[in-house]
Structure 1
Amino acid sequence: MEKRISTQKITPNLWFTLNAEEAINYYLSIFKNSKKGRSTYYGEEGFEIHKIPAGTLMTQEFYLEGQEFLALNGGPYFQFNEAISFVVNCDSQEEVDYYWDKLTQGGPAESQICGWLKDKFGVSWQIVPVELSAMLTSDDKEAVARVTKEVLSSKKLDLNKLRAAFGK
């Protein structure tokens, strides 16, 4: 019998009001290599504190691209903010477009800058082409400055514009 809740040393725990299952199903529909893990449910104990009915999903493990997450239906006490975000490393502009389009559906009208977006559950994501890292760590300081300026002026990152700014 496995004693740990998680199989990873560190697992992001996402607090949802009472819509964790809806959020998980949404993420599973977007990320192709994904699945649900173990679930726990509220019992009658603690109802006087959390006010969540017995039988309601409490926690659900889920995996996106091999990364384990834990979702908690914790009630309306905490909200997501931009201080934490999940980076999705993309190999192509088509992949950037795919994740951007899927994760912005039903989200805020205006997305953030620098490839950041907030999904309809309030979770922040960074949709980033993997080439960007090499550009930003280049020894060519002028190219880095041009790429940085392009990133800071962009909402969704455009690999062709980043390449042009870099001088490729």
Structure 2
Amino acid sequence: MQAISPFLWFDTQAEEAAEFYVSIFDNSRIQSVSRYPEGSPYPAGTAMVASFVLDGVEFQAINAGPQFTFSEAISFYVHAETQEKIDYLWNSLISGGGAPSQCGWLKDKFGLSWQIVPPVLTEMLTDLDPEKAGRTMQAMMTMSKLDIATLKAAHDGA
């Protein structure tokens, strides 16, 4: 068990969200779902807390009401080595009502923010040649879903 894990607050979609995320990421599974008993704020049998693993990282999700919602102030940064992986994760997470944002960010159908980023982007943005890094930044700022070939071309001045 990891010492720190994300704990996500949902109104009523914790179990649905856990199933959705587990279907997208490799090395993922639902570990357990506890349910509300009789006399609780939700109908008996409704999922209370879902424990799940996404690509080896443990998460918890709770159904606890509409008082709190997600914002871009918290997002999950996902390393995607290839364009194929970027495309797969982007299209999967945005499916069913998600929305694209800028620079590799998106919101999924539950309102949770994700960043789908190739590690090579960090290398290009931290290039010791400020012109190359600047061209990479300018190219990234025009994108919603990141495109590795376009970023590399901008970086190289092509």
How far apart are 1:55 and its partner, in Å? 2.7
Match of 2:66 in 1: 76
TM-score normalised by length of structure 1: 0.88
1:25 to 19, 24, 29: 19
- Cα RMSD (Å): 1.4
Cα shift readout 1:64-111 (whole Å, capped 9, x = no counterpart): 110111010111111111111101101110110010111111224x51
Query: What is the one-letter code of the residue matched to 1:144?
Result: A
The equivalences for 1:31-110 within 5 A come to 31-44=25-38, 47=40, 51-108=41-98, 110=99
Shift >6 Å, 4+ stretches? none
How far apart are 1:10 and its partner, in Å? 1.1
How far apart are 1:154 and its partner, in Å? 0.6
Aligned length: 157
2:15–2:33 Cα contact (<8 Å) kept: no
Q: Distance in 1 between matches of 2:19 and 2:30?
A: 9
Determine whether 1:148 maps to 2:142: no
TM-score normalised by length of structure 2: 0.93
Identity over aligned residues, as a percent? 48
Match of 1:161 in 2: 150
Match of 1:134 in 2: 123
Residue segments in structure 2 that go unaligned for 5+ positions in a row: none
The alignment partner of 1:117 has SS state of: strand
Residue segments in structure 1 that go unaligned for 5+ positions in a row: 1-6
Query: What is the one-letter code of the residue matched to 1:106?
Result: G
